[in-house]
């Protein structure tokens, strides 16, 4: 799809959203956003500097210390959040399309995660805060203690390119509900869509400085993490970046939530129904072109049915409709960028040069002569110690690994630095649940894998620290305070 010059001009984002206004950048660097399916220009976005981050944090700090937001009642915050949800919802179709152009996400998935989910999360956390008791009184030895829950303060939110709208709202919605103020730093790979939040916030009447948005690269992102005006960092991204952020937050005694990488396993037990397993693969392994942190890129198959599973996974991969993500029939779009495509192809080369067996894929689709496309690729006979089984590819490259027993499957699944997602398939639900309970991972499905926005989400081990989503997600943005008071407060 070719984007006209006029459409591109409308998408340009050459200013930042700070203190409720569109302001000129302090620097001159820009990012040219390219369409993943064609490589053609979508628009230009300004990239922020340390000075832009400083201005945004200053606005958030002022809004927290002197503005009304942190002192509003839960009901007042909920009312603004519901208007915010309506404003986003009215833009959802255009936003979904834009994200699909930016990162290659199939439009049906983008409509759910970048169109519907952000508004849904705002409504969910508006309801959560409306039903959360922020102050209770309990008896103490000398009288009474008032236990309060207050906003954690200024939040620096750093979000990735794969689900830009949804993952930003994983942080924005509970933080706003708690009464925090924020600086959002989105990824340059999806440079254009995040500013939709600013447009909607203005329409909803969010007070100036409560939400500030500065697109920036790693250096300016680092200045947000270490800025003295920030009280908490909420990050979704790679484990490598998460280590650096976590170390800096530890040095500064600063709260952080880290949702990082994964190398999840789908465990196909010897009594599994393969039709059930294959029906789950679009969400367990192929969701968003496998550019998803929970992607089950390790397929653990019982040795008793190993060849059958290998062929089923290969045939499923061959049936994928690879094409333009704006076509509703497409099931596998392009990689998000040329750089990321090269990374994925590098891992395919790793597999070719190992003892693993290439079953299908491994190259560029013959009918796609532009954009950043790759064939879904399946390797069999992979050893769990191989690089292909240890490292996150973040693309449609799958390693099929044999196991001998339920215990062996659990051992292999747990023999990973990561622990974010996973699934278990068996005709015996109790057996599958027993295996699922033994896998060290933050989320796992039985005969399916679908993220539940109403339940805690996060990882173990190198997959992160803390949980987002569900009613529990608001706890990231609230602090406890104990006020020792006279006994008459117990009445």
Q: Where are the domains of the chain?
A: 5-260+464-482, 265-452
pLDDT at 3: 33
Residue 418: partners with Cβ closer than 8 Å, 6 or more residues away: 239, 261, 262, 263, 264, 392, 459, 461, 462, 463
Crossing angle between the packed helical segments 117-130 and 74-90, to the nearest 10 degrees = 170
Domain 265-452 has CATH 3.40.309.10: yes
In 3D space, the residue among 299, 320, 376 whose CA is nearest the CA of residue 344 turns out to be 376
The residue count for the chain: 491
Tell me which residues are annotated as active site: 259
Distance in angstroms (rounded) separating the CA atoms of residues 258 and 44: 29
265-452 matches 5-260+464-482 in CATH topology: no
- Tell how strand 377-380 and strand 41-46 pair up: unpaired
pLDDT at 10: 58
Q: Residue 75 CB: number of other CB atoms within 10 A?
A: 10
pLDDT at 36: 98
Please write the tens of the pLDDT for every residue from 3-61: 333 334 457 999 999 999 999 999 999 999 999 999 999 999 999 999 999 999 999 99
Cα dihedral across residues 361, 413, 436, 125: positive or negative:
negative
Distance in angstroms (rounded) separating the CA atoms of residues 341 and 363: 11
The answer to whether 91 touches 196, Cβ cutoff 8 Å, is yes
- Tell how strand 232-236 and strand 154-158 pair up: parallel
In 3D space, the residue among 256, 230, 269, 197 whose CA is nearest the CA of residue 426 turns out to be 269
pLDDT at 70: 85
- For the chain, residues with pLDDT lower than 50 are 1-9
Please state, in angstroms and as integers, the Cα–Cα distance from residue 489 to each residue in 71, 147, 149, 269, following that order: 22, 12, 17, 59
**Which phi and psi angles does 130 have, rounded to 5°?**
-65, -25
pLDDT at 491: 72
Residues 378, 383, 386: CA angle, nearest 5 degrees: 85
Residue 274: is it exposed, middle or buried by C-beta count within 10 angstroms (0-12/13-18/19+)?
Answer: middle
Distance in angstroms (rounded) separating the CA atoms of residues 70 and 153: 9
Please state, in angstroms and as integers, the Cα–Cα distance from residue 472 to each residue in 136, 328, 415, 455, 478, following that order: 18, 35, 29, 8, 11
Domain 5-260+464-482 has CATH 3.40.50.1100: no
Distance in angstroms (rounded) separating the CA atoms of residues 378 and 367: 20
What's the number of CA atoms in the CB half-sphere (13 Å) around residue 263?
22
What's the DSSP call for residue 488? G
E strand segments, 167-261? 181-185, 211-213, 232-236, 255-259
Distance in angstroms (rounded) separating the CA atoms of residues 363 and 42: 26
pLDDT at 9: 43
């Amino acid at each position: 799809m070719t984007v006209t010059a006029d459409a591109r001009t409308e998408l340009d984002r050459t200013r930042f959203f700070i203190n409720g206004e569109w302001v000129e950048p302090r620097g001159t660097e820009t990012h040219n956003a390219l369409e993943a399916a064609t490589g053609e220009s979508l628009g230009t976005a300004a990239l922020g500097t340390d000075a832009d981050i400083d201005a945004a944090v200053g606005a958030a700090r002022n809004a927290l210390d002197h503005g009304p937001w942190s002192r509003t009642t839960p009901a007042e915050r909920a009312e603004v959040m519901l208007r915010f949800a309506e404003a986003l919802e009215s833009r959802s179709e255009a936003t979904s399309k834009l994200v699909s152009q930016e990162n290659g996400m199939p439009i049906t998935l983008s409509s759910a995660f970048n169109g519907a989910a952000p508004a849904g999360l705002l409504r969910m956390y508006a309801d959560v805060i409306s039903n959360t008791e922020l102050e209770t009184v309990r008896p103490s030895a000398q009288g009474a203690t008032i236990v309060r829950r207050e906003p954690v303060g200024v939040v620096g939110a750093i979000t990735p390119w794969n689900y830009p709208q949804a993952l930003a709202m994983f942080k924005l919605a509970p933080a706003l509900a708690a009464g925090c103020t924020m600086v959002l730093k989105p990824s340059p790979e999806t440079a254009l869509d995040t500013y939709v939040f600013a447009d909607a916030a203005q329409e909803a009447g969010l007070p100036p400085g409560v939400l500030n948005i500065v697109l920036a690269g790693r250096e300016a992102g680092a200045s947000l993490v270490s800025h003295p005006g920030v009280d908490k960092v909420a990050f979704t991204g790679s484990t490598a970046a998460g280590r650096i952020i976590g170390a800096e937050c530890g040095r500064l005694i600063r709260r952080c939530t880290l949702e990082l990488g994964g190398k999840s396993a789908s465990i196909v037990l010897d009594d599994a129904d393969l039709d059930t397993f294959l029906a789950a693969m679009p969400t367990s392994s192929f969701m968003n072109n496998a550019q998803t942190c929970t992607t089950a890129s390790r397929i653990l198959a019982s040795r008793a049915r190993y060849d059958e599973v290998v062929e089923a996974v290969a045939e499923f991969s061959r049936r994928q409709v690879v094409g333009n993500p704006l076509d509703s029939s497409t099931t596998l779009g392009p990689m998000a960028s040329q750089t990321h495509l090269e990374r994925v192809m590098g891992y395919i080369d790793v597999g070719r040069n190992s003892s693993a067996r290439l079953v299908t894929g491994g190259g560029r689709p013959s009918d796609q002569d532009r954009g950043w496309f790759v064939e879904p690729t399946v390797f069999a006979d992979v050893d769990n110690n191989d690089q292909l089984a240890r490292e996150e590819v973040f693309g449609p490259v799958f390693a099929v690994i044999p196991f001998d027993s339920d215990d062996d499957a659990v051992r292999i699944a747990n023999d990973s630095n990561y622990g974010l997602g996973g699934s278990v398939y068996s005709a015996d639900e109790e057996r599958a649940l027993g295996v699922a309970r033994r896998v060290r991972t933050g989320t796992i499905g039985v005969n399916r894998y679908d993220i539940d926005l109403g339940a805690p989400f996060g990882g173990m081990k190198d997959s992160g620290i803390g949980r987002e989503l569900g009613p529990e997600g608001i706890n990231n943005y609230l602090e406890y305070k104990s006020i020792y008071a006279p006994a008459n407060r117990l009445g």
